[in-house]
Amino acid sequence: MPSSSAPLPATYEDLPNPRQYWPAPAGSYEEGLGMLRILTPEVVASAARNEIQTGERVCLNWELENLDPPGFGRRPFNHVIKVVESSNGSALDDEYHFNPQQSSQWDGLRHHSGPWPNNKTEEKKLWYGGTTLDEIINTDSGRIGMGHWAKKGIAGRGVLLDYASWAERTKGLKPNFALTQHRISLDDLLAIAEESNIKFQHGDILFVRVGLPSTWNGMTDEERKAYAQQETPQHAGVEQSERVLKWLWNNHFSAVAGDAVSFEVFPAMEGDFDLHHHILAGWGMPIGEMFDLDGLAELCKQHKRWSFFVSSSPLNYARGVSSPPNCMAIF
C-alpha cells in the first residue's frame, strides 16, 4: 500500500485501480481525511494569500429545515425552545432534531458504499478504505467518521461554475429545473470555466450552481409534498460518466459540492458510472449537496472572479456519517 504522503497519481490512467485509491493505513487519521489530505498547510496558505482581497464574505448554508418535507422517507426537521428548569424562566435552550441530508450537507466517507465485488450482495459492499458495514454500525469505532474532518476543518481555494446563470443566458433555461433529470454535460462545465477564465489549481474545492433555491421557493406546498412522496425523485446534476471521473481526478480537486439535491444527475443516465461509488467510496472525495450558492454567485458576478477562499467546520462527532457544512466563502 502506498504511503499517504506519496504524490497523487498524475492522471486517471495512472491509477492502479480507479475504483479503489486507498493510500493510507486502515483506521488511520490520514485514511479518515480521504482527498482532504491534499489541503496541506502550504495549499491553504497560498489560497488565503491570493483569494482574500476585500474581506467580503458569504455563508453557503441553506436553512436547516429545507427540504421540508424531506424525501427518501427521512424524518423532518424539528426545533423546540425550552425554558431551563433551574433558571426560574430567565434562560432558554434549543433542542434540535435534524437529518443533515435534509439541507446543506457534506456527505462523509461513511455515507455511501461501492458495489465491490458485486452490486447484488449487500454484505460485500465496501466503504472507503475497505471499511465494512459492521465496522460502522456495530462498533464504537470512528474509522472514516466525520470526526477526522472536524479536527482541522476544510479550508482552501473554492471555484464556482455557475451553470444556472450560464444556462439561462445561453440556452434560455429558467433556474427551475433542479428537481428534474436535467443533465449537466462536462462540455458545458468546461465552457463555463473557459468563459469565466478559471484556471484550476491542485486542491481546489469545486462548486456547481444549479439553482435549487429558486426551484424550491417557486413550488407550492402540494408540489413539495408530491416531491417528498416519490419513490425515485429526479434531481438535476453533473453527468455520470467516465469523462467526468477523469476530469475530476486529473484536476486533483479535494472536494466537490453543488446546490442541487445530488451533485450528479439522478437517477443515473450513464450506465454504471455512479459518481458516489467512485469519488466517495473509491477516492474519499467529499461531496457537498444543497449548499446555498445564490449569494456566492452574486459576489462572483460583482467582482468578476469565480474563485475565493473557503472555510468549513463539520460537526465534531467521531462516528458521524454526514454534517452540515458550516461553510463560508471569503473574497
pLDDT in tens, 39-75: 999 999 999 999 999 999 999 999 988 888 777 778 8
pLDDT at 297: 98
The rounded distance, in Å, linking the Cα atoms of 96 and 81 is: 9
Q: Residue 35 has what DSSP assignment?
A: G
Show the cell assigned to 7: 504524490
Alpha helices in the chain (DSSP H): 29-33, 41-51, 133-137, 147-150, 163-171, 186-195, 212-217, 221-228, 242-250, 275, 294-303
Confidence of residue 247 (pLDDT cuts 50, 70, 90): very high
For the chain, percent of residues with pLDDT exceeding 90: 74
pLDDT at 236: 94
The radius of gyration of the chain's CA atoms, rounded to the nearest angstrom, is: 20
Show the cell assigned to 195: 468563459
Confidence of residue 142 (pLDDT cuts 50, 70, 90): very high
* Per-residue buried b or exposed e for 293-321, using 16+ beta carbons within 10 Å of the residue's own CB: bbebbebbeeeebbbbbbbbbbbeeebbb
**pLDDT of residue 209 exceeding 60:** yes
Q: Where do the domains of the chain lie?
A: 20-62+104-112+143-330
pLDDT at 1: 37
**pLDDT of residue 123 exceeding 60:** no
For the chain, percent of residues with pLDDT exceeding 70: 94
The rounded distance, in Å, linking the Cα atoms of 188 and 140 is: 44
Domain 20-62+104-112+143-330 has CATH 3.50.30.50: yes
